[in-house]
Amino acid sequence: MSEEYKETLNVRLEASKEILKTISDAFNKQLESSMETNKKTMEEISNQFNLVMKQNQKLWSDVFKAYQTPLNNEEKKIKDPILYETKKKINVSVNELKDHQSK
């Protein structure tokens, strides 16, 4: 091969190396940026799931507290005095009705 041809090949080889190095650097920067963005996105998704889970736990806790069966009549009066008084009035009315029918 001629010296001129070898020199042309070397110049083109160096140019190709520089182009590949530039492409590789750009790809690595993009990859780092993508990884950082993905990490931030995953953290945000995780935070949103945690928030939803806490809200769901609070909701069910409140639901169970609202419908929890008291252990005795005193606790029933304390937990829901209106309901207790209404039941008491209904029971009295039914008893009075029974007394009236038996007479």
pLDDT digits (tens, 9 = 90+) for 8-22: 999 999 999 999 999
Rounded CA gap, 10 and 14, in Å? 6
Whether 83 contacts 90, CB under 8 Å: no
Global confidence as pTM: 0.44
Here the tokens at position 43 are: 């953290």
Question: Given a cut of 80, is residue 24 above it in pLDDT?
Answer: yes
The pLDDT assigned to 96 comes to: 55
